[in-house]
Amino acid sequence: MNLERSKVQENLPKKGFVEQDDRKHIFYHLYYGGKKTHIRTHVSHGSKYKTLGDDLVSKMAKQCKLTAKNFRGLAECTLSHDAYVKLLQEAGEV
């Protein structure tokens, strides 16, 4: 099941990610407690990636320390910021 790139770009900043744009990619770095963490992901500017297939969703999920299902929830706002942080804390990531 594809995920709209626009949803990811719209909703990651709501979950504590800060966007940094360069010419090739848009990077998202997670900030927690006012500090930049090691957790980051990115999307391409290319029109080829208006929707993200399962392979890209899986890669982004891994970068965000989530399962693909939970990453979809994060991107679609069914997984809250607090629930995401709790998952990261349980995994020892933050």
Summarize pLDDT for 34-62 with one digit per residue, the tens: 999 999 999 887 766 688 889 999 999 99
Q: Which domains does the chain carry?
A: 3-90 (3.30.920.30)
Under a CB-based contact definition with an 8 Å cutoff, are residues 40 and 57 in contact?
no
Under a CB-based contact definition with an 8 Å cutoff, are residues 20 and 26 in contact?
yes
- The band of 64, judged by pLDDT with boundaries at 50, 70 and 90, is very high
What pTM was estimated for this model as a whole?
Answer: 0.89
Question: Is 75 exposed, middle or buried, given 0-12, 13-18 or 19+ CB atoms closer than 10 A?
Answer: buried
